Copies of this chain bind each other. A is one copy, B any other.
Amino acid sequence: MSLVTKPTVIFPEHEVSQDQMVNVLKELFPYHPKWDTVERMIRNTQVDHRNLLSPIDQVITHPGFEYRNKLYKDHGLKMASRVAKQVLDDNKMTPNDIDMLMVVSCTGFLMPSLTSYIISDLGFRPNTKQLPVAQLGCAAGAWALNRAYEYIKAYPDHNVLLLSVEFSSLLFQPEDSKISSLISNCLFGDAVSGCIIKGAYEDGDEGYLIEGIDSFVKKDSDHYIKYDVKSTGFHFGLDKEVMHSIKDVAPIMKGLIKDECEKEINDLDFHLFHTGGRKILDELVSNLDLVEENVSKSRQSLKNHGNIASGVVLDVLNKEFESKTRKNGDTGMMAAFGPGFTAEINHGTWIKN
């Protein structure tokens, strides 16, 4: 049984408000032909502020793919190590207790991957299994929890450490004035997060016990959410068609909860939804007939941090822990969406003994 314990989510120090962002982009593209539309859409993101790896004047310059990837490695390793130590401490565990280390991260590329560096630097066992994933974007957090669920089904007393390292600000492309890119520049935030998924949990443990999982790939949707890979690094691309994916995945989400929990989604006690963006959350509310309260923690995460990619579901889960309103036996679900269009879904029960 996979018990997802309390996540740690940390943010780099440089905070930027959406007002600042509007001014910065206006200065960068003073003659943008559609500036009024751009500004209106930025205001509509419902992002209030975000934390970025570097001061904003550095974010908007491009020091080269190589330098950015070096920043990614240095800060990624430092922050991921901090998160790893924190969640180990919180669980009264040592690196020795971890059987598999997952690192999900789509905003830089390393080989060897961070899994290898962390196993070596933090003194994990040399036989710790590695699962580094770079290609599942915003879906990767929920994806990793689903894979941890499967792994623990095979090894019921094993423990998995999941780390999410996302520095979307390293993908800022100052030459790119497409409306969708300017909006994306104001949507994504930087964060490093992680949690431990325990196989054999004990009295006193609290967490989200995953009890069922599902996956979804939408046919012919490769252009919805994607990277173009160039000498300047990864160029994030978003097609507005992506909004129509939610109507395709909604029946699958409903079906899973109906079939496995004999409930409607609104009847669940907690909802751990990826933020995507404001419109994705609106589409969820509309297609699942959700009570607005059920997306409130996702909206709050979006407002305060922007979309922190694979880390969003951990941030929303963390808010459930911090709200201290969850009771033993509460039922809930998680869903995240990413490139492809891909969705990863799970459901389970809150454990609090």
- Which positions in A face B, CB cutoff 8 Å? 64-66, 69, 106, 108-113, 115-117, 119-120, 124, 126-137, 143, 146-147, 150-151, 153-155, 214-222, 225-232, 234, 252, 339-340, 342
Contacts and interface: CB of A to CB of B under 8 A. Distances in A.
Q: Is the interface of A mostly helix, strand, loop or mixed?
A: mixed
A120 B66 contact: no
A134 B134 CA distance: 7
A216 B127 contact: yes
B342 A116 contact: yes
Contacts of A222: 112, 116-117, 120
Nearest to A230: B66
Nearest to A137: B111
B132 A135 contact: yes
Given A124-B217, A128-B217, A153-B154, 12 more contacts: A66-B230, A109-B227, A111-B234, A111-B339, A112-B226, A120-B218, A120-B340, A127-B217, A130-B143, A132-B135, A132-B136, A150-B151
Contacts of A130: 136, 143, 215, 217, 342
B131 A147 contact: yes
Contacts of A154: 150-151, 153-154
Contact of A135 (B64, B113, B136, B234): B113
B342 A110 contact: no
Given A132-B135, A151-B154, A230-B65, A339 B219 contact: no
Contacts of A153: 153-155
Nearest to A150: B154
Contact of A339 (B116, B136, B228, B339): B116
Given A126-B216, A154-B151, A215-B130, A136 B119 contact: no
